[in-house]
């Protein structure tokens, strides 16, 4: 099964043109789909539709065949700016997301340890507040919080855009590792071409609210950051994406 849109149109009030124009996209279960596009091309709007945060003007979004009408824990969302509660400790931030799962207190404690370990954070981070952490650590906590809801689909809107280059590569490694081990479906928005190539099974290019191109990534996995450019197919897909994004600017 899959998460799917059919003929999706979103027209915001007062806007001259629809933000999304007849988007039909299928993201198969367990796959890693990347959306790229220039700023304003509709990436966030599309992701919000998949999450059930926006009701489309027309067309449908389905998840395993069921219409998506509202946000649900099975579709976890992560944003560029982490949305952790600054007044809560890391443990309480994660616990907040666990609350939906009806676990006993002891089980919740255990889950918090498991989740921190999964995202590569030491146990003592649990007692700290988000303001005491680096940007990369905060994004790790954000991912732990998304995972706490046991999503089968993770929807991520430029989650690493604010991080420095090295931290960003490390977070990509973490995400690929989680995706491989946990067998989740991921829809990931970025405007970084190399990030798209490293992560995606497929890369869909958005331009002016339409899918301008849908590319099946020819690179095999693993895709180590320091040898990405050496992999067969790299320069070709890079060139294609580069042109697509350049065109979007004109
Ligand atoms: N809530 C909103 N109200 C009106 N217009 C919006 C709203 N959200 C986005 N838009 C418009 O829709 C288009 C697509 O925006 P968005 O999906 O945020 O693009 P991206 O994430 O690719 O930068 C833009 O023209 C933007 O101005
Ligand atoms: Mg956006």
User: For ligand 1, is residue 12 a contact (CB within 6 Å)?
Assistant: yes
Please state the domain count of the chain: 2
Residues 55 and 94 in one domain: no
Residues 229 and 129 both lie in one domain: no
What pLDDT does 49 receive? Answer: 97
- Give how far Cα 150 sits from Cα of 32, 73, 147, 154, 183, Å: 17, 7, 5, 10, 11
The answer on 167 and 44 residing in a single domain is: yes
| Same domain, yes or no: 227 and 210 | yes
Residue ending a domain, among 122, 150, 178, is: 150
- Residues 187 and 140 occupy one common structural domain: no
Q: Which of 8-12, 37-41, 98-102 has the highest mean pLDDT?
A: 8-12
Mutating to test ligand 1, I would choose from 42, 46, 158, 189 the residue with most ligand atoms within 8 A of its C-beta, which is 42
pLDDT at 248 > cutoff 70: no
Dump pLDDT digits (tens) for 108-166: 999 999 999 999 999 999 999 999 999 999 999 999 999 998 999 999 999 999 899 99
| Pair (8, 69) in one structural domain | yes
Q: How far is the CA of 39 from the centre of ligand 2 (A)?
A: 7
Does residue 197 sit in the same domain as residue 129? no
- The parent domain of residue 143 ranges over 82-150
Q: Supply the residue whose CA is at minimum distance from atom 18 of ligand 1.
A: 44
**Ligand 1 atom 9: the closest Cα is on which residue?**
45
Same domain, 68 and 157: yes
- Same domain, yes or no: 117 and 69: no
Nearest-CA residue for ligand 1 atom 25 is 40
Q: Give one DSSP letter per residue of 129-197, joined into a string.
A: -GGGS-HHHHHHHHHHHHHHT--SEEEEESTTTTS-HHHHHHHHHHHHHHHHHHT-EEEEE-S-HHHHH
At which of 150, 173, 203 does a domain end? 150
Q: What is the predicted pLDDT for the residue at 250? A: 55
Task: Give the tens place of pLDDT for each residue, 175-228.
Answer: 999 999 999 999 999 999 999 999 999 999 999 999 999 999 999 999 999 999
**Of the candidates 209, 224, 146, 207, which has an alpha carbon nearest to the alpha carbon of residue 9?**
209
pLDDT band at 81 (very low <50, low <70, confident <90, very high): confident
Cβ-based neighbour number of residue 166 at 10 Å:
10
Do residues 223 and 167 share a domain? Answer: yes
- The verdict on 101 and 122 lying in the same domain is yes
CATH number at residue 30: 3.40.50.300
Closest ligand 1 atom to 47 CA: 17
Both 170 and 231 in a single domain?
Answer: yes
Ligand nearest to the CA of 80: 2
Q: Which ligand 1 atom lies nearest to the CA of residue 45?
A: 17
Last-in-domain residue among 106, 131, 150: 150
The token duo for 107 is 């089980």
């Amino acid at each position: 099964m899959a998460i799917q849109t059919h003929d999706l149109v979103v027209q915001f009030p007062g806007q001259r043109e629809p933000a999304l124009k007849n988007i039909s996209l299928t993201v198969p279960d367990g796959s890693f789909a990347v959306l790229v596009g220039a700023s304003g091309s509709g990436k966030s709007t599309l992701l919000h539709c998949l999450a059930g945060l926006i009701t489309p003007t027309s067309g449908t979004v389905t998840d395993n065949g069921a219409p998506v009408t509202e946000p649900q824990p099975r579709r976890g969302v992560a944003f560029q700016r982490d949305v952790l509660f600054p007044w809560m400790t890391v443990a309480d931030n994660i616990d907040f997301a666990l609350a939906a799962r009806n676990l006993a207190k002891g089980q919740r404690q255990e889950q918090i340890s498991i989740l921190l370990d999964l995202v590569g954070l030491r146990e003592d981070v649990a007692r700290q507040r988000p303001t005491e952490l680096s940007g990369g650590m905060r994004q790790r906590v954000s991912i732990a919080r998304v995972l706490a809801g046991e999503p089968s689909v993770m929807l991520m809107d430029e989650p690493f855009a604010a991080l420095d280059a090295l931290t960003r590569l490390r977070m990509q490694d973490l995400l690929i590792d989680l995706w491989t081990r946990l067998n989740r479906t991921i829809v990931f928005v970025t405007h970084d071409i190399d990030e798209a190539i490293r992560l995606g099974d497929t890369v869909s290019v958005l331009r002016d609210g339409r899918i301008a191109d849908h590319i099946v990534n020819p690179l095999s996995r693993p895709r180590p950051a320091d040898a990405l450019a050496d992999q067969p197919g790299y320069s070709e897909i890079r060139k294609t994406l580069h042109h697509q994004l350049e065109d979007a600017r004109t």
